[in-house]
Amino acid sequence: MFCYQCEQTAGGKACTSMGVCGKTPEVSGLQDLLIYQLKGIGFYGSKLLDQGKKINARVQNFVIDTAFSTLTNVNFDDERFAEFLKEGAAIKAELKAELGDVEGKVPAEATYILPGTLDEMIRDSKIAGIMVDDTLNEDVRSLREMLIYGLKGMAAYAHHAFVLGSADEEVNNYFFKAFGATVNDDLGVAELLDILMEFGGVNLKCMALLDSANTGTYGHPTPTAVNINNKKGPFIVISGHDLHDLKELLEQTEGKGVNIYTHGEMLPAHGYPELNKYPHLVGNFGGAWQDQQKEFDGLPGCILMTTNCLQKPKASYADRIYSTSVVGFPEMQHIEEVDGKKDFTAMIEKAIELGGFTEDEEVKEIMTGFGHNATLSHAETIVGAVKDGLIRHFFLIGGCDGAKSGRNYYTEIAEKTPADTVILTVACGKFRFNKLDHGNIGPLPRLLDVGQCNDSYSAIRIAVALAEAFECGVNDLPLSIILSWYEQKAVCILLTLLSLGIKNIHIGPSLPAFVSPNVLNVLVEQFAVKPISTPDEDLKAILG
């Protein structure tokens, strides 16, 4: 086992015996082997695209969903990965047959033949490990892994868009081009850096696609107060990121006396008019994903995990947590989609049986729903406040949360930002400070919750629109971007920001283990990427 794709990897170097996330060596190996297969599929697929041929939607969706399944904290089920590998082997054979004879070198990932049993797959997985080729240039390895992790993040966005009926041929085809690039030994550091910048632009298009799918389906988010305390009665907590699953769950629980709470990254769902219209969407339960084992312990209700951010369930709630889509854990109850629909009946009945909370708590509310449409509707007020000296600076404090020490930095810097500054926040890093009272500037709260990590496009739209209003570049705005990272969606967002030429991004709480010293130097020299230091030092450097 060798895995260093997340920020909390063991010792800041790599997990080599057991994943900090809970991933076993066997599952880690199967995920490596699945990526190995996707590289082979990418090789054949990119050759077909070079010939002007099309790749069918079934194959595109397989690549997207299986890449997503290997993202941190999505799927821990070895049997599911065996199924993915078998389907991948069949798809690779299809593409190979369609392509015919190939001139030149064919990588081992393309010619690999999958064995028939799970045990054999686990044994074979040693050929697919990140560090298998000890002769590979460390900078080439670093850039290849960065591209793969970016693809995993973009796969999440493409998956959510597709669920809502939206897809883009350029985005879908890029998975084949990029996976193919990771087995092309003719590509050196310079070429791979160019591909990473190209990827950032494609990911921007993918994020725009998802934003359009979400707002076209559920309306533009509007500022909304969300209750964070409990209401009496049976309930289901829905976690992850999938708004479509939430919509189906709301429809199937309507009129049944079952309350629905969002959890983690589902909090911003309350801002969408077509979701918020359901009165039994009563609030948000708990905080960030890494606290779920404590918060779900003995919970008198059910939990639905729709995407990443799953931890190993404790025995006290193992009988009431359900997975769906690409999410999985051994022996966890899984809800499959059948003919385009999911049946949540068993979970609803279990929630009613459990009885839920026995009394109402006093209502306490926080705000969400400041997507680009809502925020930019106040653009004239915001620009005027800057020109009048009421707003000195904007801080985008966003990204992933996690359990590793050092993340109190994000709480402290949010607390210490001056009263004449605005905080924009996106993704689950907000749970470090979103329940604090930051006050207001004029008619607007100082803290503007832009949404999920899936809504990072909104933050980019806001920054670009403000730059246009001030007739300057984004780098000339009184704006500082301070990001926390944990998993691979943070990687694809960073690459998109860099592809847009945005500089002086602060990153923490630690730098990625997969970034080699030379690649880090490129990021620092070309893009002025900065590791975080202390809140006081960084605020002094930013504000003077």
Are residues 331 and 466 part of one domain? no
Provide the whole-model pTM.
0.97
Kindly state whether residue 435 falls inside one of the protein's structural domains. yes
Q: What is the mean pLDDT of residues 494-511?
A: 97
- Angle (CA) 79 346 284, round 5°: 95
Residue 145 tokens read as 């892994």
DSSP structural state of residue 75: B
Q: Which of 166, 188, 217 finishes a domain? A: 217
Are residues 209 and 230 part of one domain? no
Are residues 326 and 213 part of one domain? no
Axis crossing angle, helix 189-218 with helix 243-253, rounded to the nearest 10: 20
Q: DSSP assignment of 404-465, as one string?
A: STTTHHHHHHHHHS-TTEEEEEESGGGGGTTTS---EETTEESEEEEE-GGGHHHHHHHHHH
Q: What is the mean pLDDT of residues 525-543?
A: 97
Are residues 499 and 398 part of one domain? yes
Q: How many domains does the chain contain in total?
A: 3
Are residues 233 and 204 part of one domain? no
Residue 15 tokens read as 């997990």
φ, ψ dihedrals at 322, nearest 5°: -130, 150
Using alpha carbons only, how large is the chain's radius of gyration in Å? 23
Are residues 325 and 228 part of one domain? yes
At 105-157, the pLDDT tens digits run 999 999 999 999 999 999 999 999 999 999 999 999 999 999 999 999 999 99
Mean pLDDT rounded to a whole number for the chain: 97
Task: Describe the strand order of the beta sheet including 530-531 as a list of residue ranges.
Answer: 447-451, 421-426, 393-399, 479-484, 506-508, 530-531
At 285-308, the pLDDT tens digits run 999 999 999 999 999 999 999 999
At 252-275, the pLDDT tens digits run 999 999 999 999 999 999 999 999
Does residue 405 carry a pLDDT above 90?
Answer: no
pLDDT recorded at residue 146: 98
Q: Per-residue confidence at 406, pLDDT binned at 50, 70, 90?
A: confident
CB 397 within 8 A of CB 482: yes
SS3 category, 153: helix
Kindly state whether residue 2 falls inside one of the protein's structural domains. no
Q: What is the mean pLDDT of residues 76-104?
A: 97
Kindly state whether residue 382 falls inside one of the protein's structural domains. yes
Kindly state whether residue 59 falls inside one of the protein's structural domains. yes
| H or E element in which residue 493 lies | helix 488-499
**CB-based contacts of 460-467 (< 8 A; 24+ apart in sequence):** 460/204, 460/207, 460/496, 460/497, 460/500, 461/211, 461/372, 461/376, 462/372, 462/375, 462/376, 462/424, 463/396, 463/502, 465/372, 465/376, 465/379, 466/379, 466/382, 466/383, 466/394
Kindly state whether residue 137 falls inside one of the protein's structural domains. yes
Are residues 236 and 213 part of one domain? no
Kindly state whether residue 304 falls inside one of the protein's structural domains. yes
Q: Which of 186, 201, 217 finishes a domain? A: 217
Are residues 170 and 272 part of one domain? no
Kindly state whether residue 368 falls inside one of the protein's structural domains. no
Q: Per-residue confidence at 460, pLDDT binned at 50, 70, 90?
A: very high
Instruction: Output the domain CATH number for residue 443.
Output: 3.40.50.2030
Report the percent of the chain where pLDDT is more than 70.
100
Q: What is the mean pLDDT of residues 409-432?
A: 97
Kindly state whether residue 361 falls inside one of the protein's structural domains. no
Q: How many CB atoms lie within 10 A of CB 354?
A: 16
Instruction: Output the domain CATH number for residue 160.
Output: 1.20.1270.20
CB 204 within 8 A of CB 460: yes
Q: What is the mean pLDDT of residues 203-229?
A: 98
Are residues 462 and 334 part of one domain? no
Q: Per-residue confidence at 404, pLDDT binned at 50, 70, 90?
A: confident
Residue written as token pair 């794709």:
5
Report the percent of the chain where pLDDT is more than 90.
98
pLDDT recorded at residue 298: 97
Q: What is the mean pLDDT of residues 373-382?
A: 95
Q: Per-residue confidence at 238, pLDDT binned at 50, 70, 90?
A: very high
CB 153 within 8 A of CB 203: yes
Does residue 358 carry a pLDDT above 90?
Answer: yes
Q: What is the mean pLDDT of residues 499-517?
A: 97
Are residues 420 and 348 part of one domain? no
Are residues 198 and 228 part of one domain? no
Q: Residue 145 belongs to what domain range?
A: 10-217
At 18-61, the pLDDT tens digits run 999 999 999 999 999 999 999 999 999 999 999 999 999 999 99
Are residues 202 and 67 part of one domain? yes
CA-CA distance, 512 to 138, in Å (whole number)?
14
CA-CA distance, 452 to 540, in Å (whole number)?
29
